[in-house]
């Protein structure tokens, strides 16, 4: 429960975020739509669930429409009889259904490649029908190719590179098929090739703009997410700093008040007890007068580390209570255990042998006096009662000669007599 400082700089993180987003935004107008590898990975993760759902719908609907086009082939290519419908139903349809069943189990790259391959297979079949038929209406067999090209680029939204490869293969296949049809007039061949070329260009431009819009949307979400995370980190950092004593790095009085209230409430809910140690540095004013305040600050920081060496449980707290005083909260701890820990603290400070020549008594090193009180949730004692009991025992230790531990007697925390603290010189 001991708060710690976060050494990271919020302002530097904010500058890094702003620079990263500016760089990402600058890359979008270029024909090559891509982010840096780490951001590209985040984009892929962001799009993954939505992409799978999109493909399930578009591939499923596209398959139904593709099979229905078999009726169109029966009208346009009657000489092929039921061959187009048979190819659609026995080859293309099973492949598409198998892909639909495995969409969620495939990694993004092979999944996108398989979808592109499926579309390209459907286009290849249609171009094959166009070359095989001898019917006078064969030029109209190009219509499904135009539809499939737009479907791949605009509806399915193949990834930019796959869309370009599929479109180039489609244009090349149509050009070859039309060129090999010697029965078609040159003017008609040119018109058909122009139609597929225009359709392909429009599809690629639409594909590029759609993906660009998706990536811009991702950048907006990323920006807001990073801002939210930055604000959360800064809030947590400021909260920690507001609970830390700048000199010693320990919890401050605010953090102490929060934890003792939590422990008191927990005790009344679960019946658990806690103990409080109030620690005061003996003759600290004389230390400052003799060595100076910078040395006094260094002494307090040294004592803080000494106490931390003894109080090591995460559920406990060491706090700078005020001036030269420290407080230790020991969760789930009774008076006897607290006394043992207090004695270890006192002995640890004595063993540190911090010189104190200006004490005015027989001692020559820094020592501490400690008052101990525990809270029994059945006693009816308030938080103020517990603090007052520890405070009285601390100053009893002072009056008894210092460098000692005094523990409050059982039941002492049930009252809060006025004027408990009387600070001896």
Burial class (CB in 10 A: 0-12, 13-18, 19+), 11: exposed
Catalytic choice (224, 237, 324, 325): 324
Report which of 204, 145, 153, 152 is spatially closest to residue 172, judged by C-alpha positions. 145
| Edge-to-edge strands, sheet with 317-322 | 317-322, 325-331, 274-281, 368-375, 405-407
| Whole-angstrom distance, CA of residue 332 vs CA of residue 288 | 37
Report whether 282 contacts 38 (CB < 8 A): no
Catalytic residue status for 234:
no
DSSP alpha helices (H): ranges in 242-283?
253-270
Buried-state track 374-410, b at ≥16 Cβ within 10 A, e below 16: bbbbebebebebbbbbbbbbbbebbeeebbbbbbbee
The per-residue DSSP string of 299-355 comes to HHHHHHHHHHHH---TT-EEEEEETTEEEEEEET--HHHHHHHHHHHHHHHHHH--B
Report which of 64, 150, 85, 156 is spatially closest to residue 115, judged by C-alpha positions. 156
In order of 176, 262, 267, 375, the CA distances from 124 in angstroms are 12, 72, 77, 83
Buried-state track 327-344, b at ≥16 Cβ within 10 A, e below 16: bbbbbbbebeebbebbee
The catalytic residues are: 324
């Amino acid at each position: 429960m001991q708060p710690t400082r976060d050494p990271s700089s919020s302002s530097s993180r904010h500058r890094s975020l702003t620079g990263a987003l500016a760089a990402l935004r600058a890359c979008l107008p270029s024909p090559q739509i891509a982010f840096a590898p780490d951001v590209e990975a985040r984009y892929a993760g962001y799009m993954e669930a939505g992409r799978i759902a999109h493909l399930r719908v578009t591939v499923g609907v596209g398959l139904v429409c593709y099979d229905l086009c078999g009726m169109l082939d029966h009208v346009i290519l009657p000489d092929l009889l039921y061959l187009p419908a048979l190819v659609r139903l026995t080859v293309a349809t099973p492949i598409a259904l198998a892909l639909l069943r495995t969409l969620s189990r495939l990694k993004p790259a092979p999944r996108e490649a398989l979808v592109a391959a499926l579309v390209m297979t459907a286009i290849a079949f249609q171009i094959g029908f166009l070359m095989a038929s001898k019917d006078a209406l064969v030029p109209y067999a190009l219509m499904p190719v135009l539809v499939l090209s737009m479907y791949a680029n605009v509806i399915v939204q193949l990834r930019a590179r796959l869309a370009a490869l599929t479109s180039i293969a489609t244009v090349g296949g149509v050009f070859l098929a039309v060129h090999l049809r010697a029965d078609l007039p040159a003017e008609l061949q040119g018109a058909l090739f122009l139609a597929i070329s225009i359709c392909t260009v429009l599809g690629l431009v639409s594909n590029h703009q759609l993906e660009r819009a998706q990536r811009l949307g991702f950048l907006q979400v990323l920006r807001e997410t990073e801002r939210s995370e930055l604000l959360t980190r800064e809030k947590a950092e400021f909260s920690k700093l507001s609970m830390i004593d700048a000199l010693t790095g320990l919890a401050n009085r605010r953090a102490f008040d929060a934890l003792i209230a939590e422990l008191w409430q927990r005790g009344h809910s679960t019946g658990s007890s806690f103990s409080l140690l109030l620690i005061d540095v003996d003759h600290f004013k004389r230390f400052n007068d003799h060595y100076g305040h910078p040395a006094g600050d260094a002494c307090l920081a040294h004592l803080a580390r000494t106490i931390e060496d003894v109080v090591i449980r995460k559920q406990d707290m060491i706090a700078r209570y005020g001036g030269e005083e420290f407080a230790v909260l020991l969760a789930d701890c009774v008076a006897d255990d607290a006394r043992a820990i207090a004695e270890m603290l006192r002995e640890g400070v004595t063993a540190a042998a911090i010189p104190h020549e200006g004490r005015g008594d027989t001692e020559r090193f820094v020592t501490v006096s400690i008052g101990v009180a525990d809270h029994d949730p059945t006693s009816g004692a308030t938080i103020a009662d517990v603090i007052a009991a520890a405070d009285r025992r601390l100053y009893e230790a002072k009056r008894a000669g210092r460098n000692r531990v005094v523990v409050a007697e059982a039941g002492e925390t049930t009252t809060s007599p006025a004027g408990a603290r009387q600070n001896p010189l």
